[in-house]
Amino acid sequence: MISPFDTYVGSQGTVPMYATADASTRSRPLKYLLWGDGVRHLDAAVSNGRRKVRARATTGWVDQAHLLGQPLLELYSIDVGQGDGVLLRTPDFRHLLIDGGYPRSSQPSGKSAADFVDWKFARDYGHDTIRIDALIASHNDHDHYGGLDDLLDVAQTAELDAGRVTVEHFFHAGLSWWKTASGGRTLGPRLTAMGGRVITQLLGDRVAAEAATGGTGPQLQGAWGSFMRKVVAARTAQGTSTPITRLSHASGLLPGFEGGDGGPVVRVLGPVERSAGGLPGLAWLGSESLTTNGQSLLLRVDYGRCRILLTGDLNQASQQALMKHYEGDEDVFACDVAKCCHHGSEDVSFAFLQAMKPAATIISSGDAEGHDHPRPRIVAASGLTGYQTFKNDQMLTPLVYSTEIARSLQLGEIKRVVQRGGASFQGAALNELTARIEVRKPGQLRPVQQQRRLGGRRHLVAGLVYGLVNVRTDGRTVLCATLNEGDGSWTIKTFKARF
């Protein structure tokens, strides 16, 4: 994909964008731009040292001295409630989308990762087509692939500003939900092999996916089957069928991301593939949920001296198995930035966290009661096992971020209700009005019906800003940033990559 930008913000921090070119006016900035933000020139002339540009879907004036940068590796950890959603953009303008949270139909907010991706392409880039170079489902749990389903669902195109979505390659971990004879679901039979039981009924390439969704042989079940039918129907930018590939540690490098021309290298570290009955398989970890989570894709993105580890929903059993498989080479997990395993669940290996030793940990949190992620011990453990650096008696790293903390909303108190035709209700009259509402928890298929009287300080959500943790690097310096909704400024931390 060709970059839509003329240049990039070069200052390692933030720079203000103003409404005018008049540098003598002490006006409040319209917006603050981040290091690496793409900028389009709207005028060739420079006035008072400022240039008229468009950036972050906003038009304004920025000091020309700040606009001499280069594209960076950018990672966006998207607030999707329960689940994960990560968009990675490479300096050569390729995009990897790893997971997307529950579908918007199961989200209390009505939004999924697809909505942020749509904003990025349609509003920030000004493109009518969303082009994803690598669409990746870390595993077959709905809170990870549901938002990817939204992106591919042509019936929901009204939800997207972009008019078209193309996918150059789809990758998955192999484990799938299969229909049983009674209409239920299964991960498939488990064969006994040296060291334990192994699932060998893995979904493979495009031919296998077409058969598994088209009535030939064993069929995929439920929402996973519906999602894979959309993947099968997806097309590349050239209009050809999207390739489908199963990944494991045996894959080595992610196809298309082998580091050519100085770009990032994406290494596939897990799941660890085993063999049983002459077939490739994945270890059974004691239950269906432990197995689907534990056999998530484990990806490491290397760019310059920077390493980013993407961990899906790895749990203690799978982490211990990974440590055993890479025994003597545990440094393979060491990273500068880590996506916290399983949203901050306590089901983790402390030794695995020590092997990662990230300078920054990003927790994709926001679960409903019953999950309560991130758990306190994991927040503490992420600090204890993180890479420590200090300056002037202050700790620089480790840093621990949560997408839920980065979220904000505005509440509006109902003061008056106007009925079509002119009737008006306010004050004590609101007590006579009753609203019938639907309340939906994350992942809940059927909302709960409730009634609420409008009197008594009833509120509406007037605005919702989704939590987003930005990570950017030129391969030497790493920047982590979250937006301050009050004034549009950024809270940023920077540290040096260490590999």
Q: Are 104 and 53 members of one domain? A: no
For residue 41, being part of any structural domain is answered with yes
* Structural domain boundaries, residue 36: 1-70
> What mean pLDDT, rounded, does the chain reach?
87
The pLDDT value given to residue 403: 79
Top pLDDT among 127 and 26 is at 127
Does 273 map to a domain? yes
| Final residue in a domain of this structure, among 378, 402, 426 | 402
Q: What is the pLDDT of residue 267?
A: 98
User: Can you tell me the distance from the alpha carbon of 121 to that of 130, in angstroms, rounded to the nearest whole number?
Assistant: 6
pLDDT for residue 308: 97
- The pLDDT value given to residue 410: 55
pLDDT in tens, 102-157: 887 777 667 788 888 999 999 999 999 999 999 999 999 998 999 999 999 867 76
Band of pLDDT at residue 465, cut at 50, 70 and 90: low
Q: Does residue 61 share a domain with residue 104?
A: no
Of 84, 79, 76, the C-alpha closest to 37 is: 76
pLDDT for res 440: 58
Residue 343 in any domain: the answer is yes
Exposure of 494 by Cβ count < 10 A (0-12 exposed, 13-18 middle, 19+ buried)? middle
pLDDT digit string, tens, across residues 474-491: 999 999 998 887 777 899
What is the spatial distance between Cα 258 and Cα 265, in angstroms, rounded to a whole number?
A: 5
pLDDT in tens, 395-408: 899 999 887 655 55
Same domain, 32 and 162: no
Query: Do residues 362 and 319 share a domain?
Result: yes
Mean pLDDT over 366-382 rounds to 66
Q: For the chain, how far is it from start to end, CA to CA, in angstroms? A: 29
Q: What angle do CA 470, 474, 478 make, to 5 degrees?
A: 50
What are residue 177's DSSP bridge partners? none
Contacts of 312 by beta carbon, 8 Å cutoff, 6+ apart: 84, 99, 138, 139, 144, 293, 296, 297, 298, 341, 342
- Are 76 and 127 contacting, i.e. CB atoms less than 8 angstroms apart? no
For the cut 70, the answer to whether the pLDDT of residue 460 exceeds it is no
Are residue 386 and residue 447 in the same domain, yes or no? Answer: no
At residue 419 the predicted structure's pLDDT band, cuts being 50, 70 and 90, is confident
| Residue 490, in any domain of the structure | no
Query: Is 474 part of any domain?
Result: no
**Looking at the structure, do residues 364 and 308 belong to the same domain, yes or no?**
yes
Q: Above 70 in pLDDT, residue 442? A: no
Burial 229-238 (b: 16+ CB within 10 A, else e): bbbbebebee
What is the 3-state secondary structure of 407-471? CEEEEEECCEEECCCCCEEEHHHHHHCEEEEEECCCCCCCCEEEEEECCCCCEEEEEEECCEEEE
CA distance linking residue 190 with residue 284, whole number of Å: 7
d(CA 338, CA 323) in angstroms, rounded, equals 17
pLDDT in tens, 215-233: 889 999 999 999 999 999 9
Contacts of 422 (CB under 8 A, 6+ apart): none
pLDDT digits (tens, 9 = 90+) for 288-305: 999 999 999 999 999 999
How many structural domains comprise the chain?
A: 3
Single out the residue in 42, 70, 98 at which a domain terminates.
Answer: 70
Query: pLDDT category, 313, cuts 50, 70, 90?
Result: very high
Say yes or no: 156 and 279 in one domain.
Answer: yes
User: In this structure, what token pair is assigned to residue 127?
Assistant: 């493109």
Can you tell me the distance from the alpha carbon of 38 to that of 70, in angstroms, rounded to the nearest whole number? 9
Verdict on whether the full-model pTM lies above 0.85: yes
Tell me, yes or no, whether 6 and 59 share the same domain: yes
Task: Note whether 99 and 172 are same-domain residues.
Answer: yes
Question: 245: closest CA among 203, 287, 200?
Answer: 203
Token pair in block for residue 358:
């990230």
Average pLDDT over residues 454-467: 59
**Same-domain status, 13 and 106:** no
Cβ neighbors of 71 (< 8 A, separation 6 or more) are 3, 5, 8, 36, 38, 91, 92, 93
Same domain, 298 and 324: yes
> Does residue 476 lie in a domain region?
no
Residue 445 has a pLDDT of 55
Q: Give pLDDT, residue 409.
A: 54
Report the pLDDT value the prediction gives residue 382, as an integer from 0 to 100.
80
Tell me the DSSP string of 133-183: SEEE-SSS-HHHHHHHHHHH-GGGGGG-SSSEEEES-EEE-S---EE-TTS
Q: Is residue 143 part of a domain?
A: yes
CATH number of domain containing 39: 2.30.30.40
Query: Do 208 and 349 reside in the same domain of the chain?
Result: yes
Instruction: State how far the Cα of 197 lies from the Cα of 106, in Å rounded to an integer.
Output: 34
Q: For residue 464, is pLDDT > 70?
A: no
Among 279-283, 351-355, 409-413, the minimum mean pLDDT is found in 409-413
pLDDT tens digits, residue range 162-214?
Answer: 889 999 999 999 999 999 999 899 999 999 887 789 999 999 999 999 999 99
- What is the pLDDT at residue 235? 97
Domain harbouring 335, CATH code: 3.60.15.10
Handedness of CA 187, 192, 193, 197 (dihedral sign): positive
Instruction: Among 51, 70, 89, identify where a domain stops.
Output: 70
Domain assignment present for residue 493? The answer is no
Query: Would you list the DSSP string of 18-78?
Result: BSSS-TTS-PPPSEEEETT-EEEEEEEEEETTEEEEEETTEEEEEEGGG--B---EEEEEE
